[in-house]
Each structure stands twice: as C-alpha cells, then as structure tokens.
Chains A and B, each alone.
Chain A
Amino acid sequence: MLVAACVKLVDLRPQVDRVSGAVTPSATPGCSAADRAAVELALTLADSWSASSAVVCCGPAAADPVLREFAASGAGRLVRLDVDGAPDSSIVGRLLAGVLGDLGADVVVCGDYSTDRGSGSVPAWVADGLGAAQALGLVQVRSEGVGSLRATRRLDGGRRERLVVDAPCVVSVEGSLAELRRAPLAAALAARDLPIEVVDAPGVVVPAPLATRPWVPPTRVQPAPTGSAALERVVELTGALVERTPPRTVELPPRQAAELILEQLRTWGYLDADDSTPGGTAAT
C-alpha cells in the first residue's frame, strides 16, 4: 500500500499592487497550507496503515528544498516531475497520474487548490487519469481501516457531507485539516542533501502566463435618454419605472429544479429549444 501526496511550489507572498493590480513575485517559494496538510494526512495514513509514503511535485528544481523538508518529516520517496512554468491543470493532472500510476499509489492526497489562482481541478484530473474515486475539498478525514477513509466535506450554506471513500482514490483537503509535523533534528540534518527522483516531462506545452490587468467592469453602449426634463432622463437611465418580470423564487426537488432552470435558459435563448447542452450549437 502506498499513500502519496501531491504538492505544488507556489509563491507564498506575491506583492499585488492595490492600485494597478500588477503582481510582483516574491523570493518566498513554498507549499500552501493545504498542500502541507495533504502531506501530513498522507504521513498519518501511511503510519496507521503501516504503508509507505511518497511526495510528488510537478514543478521546477526550486521545489527540491521544500520536498526535502517533507522527507525530514517522514515522507518515504520524493519525486519531482521536471516542469518549468505553469501548464494547464489538465496536463498537470495527467502527468501526475502517470507518475502516481508508475509508483503504484493507492491513496493520493492533494491540497484543495493552489494559492496562485488555482481552480482545484488538478486532483480531479489525477483521479480521472488513475481511474480512481475522488473526494475533494475535505475538512476532516479519518481512517476506517486500511485503504478506507471516512471524510467530511464542506457544502454550501454551512452544511457538511459525509463520505466513505475506498482505495484507489484521490482526495483533496483544506489547509485547516492538519498541520505538518515537525521534523526531528537528526532527520532535518539528514534530509539536507537527500536525492530527489526527477522524472522528465518532455513535450509539455507551457502556455505563456496570462497578462494581468486590474479588473474593469465591461462597458455597454447605452442610448442617450430622450426625456426633456432632467428628472425624466434620470428615471429613464435608472430604469426605475420600466416594467419587468419580477424575480421568482421556487422550491422544488432537484430534478424538477434542474428542468425548470433548463426551461428558463431556453426561454432566454441560451439553449436551443431541442437541446439540453449549453452553448446552443453543440448539436453540430
């Protein structure tokens, strides 16, 4: 049995200019609290199942010192997929799944999403690539015997969902779930020049980073109001007295609710009348 954690090297303290929105990278690379919690969970599970553990990272060589910290805390194997830059989540997920498959990982633990504009989709891609079960965004995880987890997930409106997940599975956890254990001094000393298994990832296309601009609300062309008095023009501009369909609140079981939403989308023209997929032209 192998429990693996996936971590990403991120800038822990980028400077964002409050006026221009420009991002200045800092000299503080590291792993997010969620990733560290993932490593801690992987180590805890491996301990309680007498399984082995590994930490896998898809990133540049700058990640090596951070990976060694995890080794000092007890991680068995350190593997780094040598990728520079930030490829798309789907690519990262596929690459990780490849490595994790080769390692023979039974349970994979990830952070819920990376702090640098992450979408949290990498764990899902990994699960897809491994053909494993997935449970994402967990706030609590307990072992239910070797290879089996009982987990709690945060839902909207303060609700919680309880799940039982069995290996092979991929879970992602929030940073508050656990704090990485402190490495013993001897282990911290020994880990300083531990070798890291580097896996090449040739042919990975890394798109140029998105240019960042401060957010500006999109503008719309608005015809000039026609009223002759100032008050009329203001009323016209605000649309205060124009007739409109009042919003509607309905309470329905999920299936009917979904149908109602689709119906409404068709009425508004977002969906073709005979189509149930968004986009309208999907049939062609």
Chain B
Amino acid sequence: MSASSYPEISFEARMATVEFRIDEDRAHITVDDTICRDCSTRGCITACPANLFVPTAAGGILFNYEQCFECGTCYLVCNREGAITWTYPEGGHGVVFHRS
C-alpha cells in the first residue's frame, strides 16, 4: 500500500464517515439567532467540531442540528444566556460511533 493512497479529506467527507440517526421531528439543539446578532465573541463558530454554526451575512448564526456529535462544546463556550437551547436527542437518535 502506497503512502499517499488516501489524501487529506474535505470536511464534508470527514463528516460523512460518521453515522447520524437523524430525528426528523425534533432539533435537539436550537439557536436563537436574535441573541447571536449582538454576540461579539462567537466562540461557537470556531469551536464546534462539527462546524454547525455558520455566520450569516446579516450578522446572525445559521445552525443545523443534524450532524452533531452531542459533545456540549457549543453551550459551554457560549456565554449569552438563552442563545443555545441544548438537549440530548431522543433516545436511539443522533450520533452513533463505531470505531472510536
């Protein structure tokens, strides 16, 4: 096997290696974009390992819960009360690790 047979992968390909059993009915994390507009730190954007916090042109945050590791980083680094509502997904849903 040659050393360079698998090059560095894109972020999408990286996330595609992970199984997510998505709950279509409920977002386990929601972000109140109106609070984010006044946020100057925006730690969630660099810290979320799944890169789920996307800044919008309007100065807010676009968030999608589907490919979430349920790690807790975002609510720990966010210091604006009420910006992030964080719960675990319904039992059996969400991330499923196999080789970690």
Contact = CB atoms under 8 A, between A and B. Distances in A.
The answer to whether any beta carbons of A and B sit under 8 Å apart in the complex is: yes
Interface of A: 13, 19, 26-28, 179, 182
Contacts of B96: 28
A230 B98 CA distance: 55
B38 interface: no
A179 B24 CA distance: 10
B62 to A, nearest CB: 25
Given A19-B5, A27-B98, 8 more contacts: A13-B19, A13-B98, A26-B98, A28-B96, A28-B98, A179-B24, A179-B25, A182-B90
Contacts of A28: 96, 98
A13 B25 CA distance: 23
10 contacts: A13-B19, A13-B98, A19-B5, A26-B98, A27-B98, A28-B96, A28-B98, A179-B24, A179-B25, A182-B90
Interface string B8-22: 000000000001000
A19 B4 CA distance: 13
A26 B19 CA distance: 13
Interface of B is mostly: loop
Interface residues of B, number: 7
A27 B19 CA distance: 14
A11 to B, nearest CB: 12
Interface in B6-59: 19, 24-25
A179 B90 CA distance: 13
Nearest to A33: B21
A28 B19 CA distance: 11
Contacts of B25: 179
Contacts of A179: 24-25
Contacts of A27: 98
Interface string B50-87: 00000000000000000000000000000000000000
A28 B92 CA distance: 13
Contacts of A13: 19, 98
Contacts of B19: 13
B70 to A, nearest CB: 19
A13 B96 CA distance: 11
A210 B51 CA distance: 41
Contacts of A26: 98
A123 B98 CA distance: 32
Closest 9 CB pairs of A and B: A13-B19, A26-B98, A13-B98, A28-B98, A19-B5, A179-B24, A182-B90, A179-B25, A27-B98
A13 B97 CA distance: 11
A26 to B, nearest CB: 7
B13 to A, nearest CB: 11
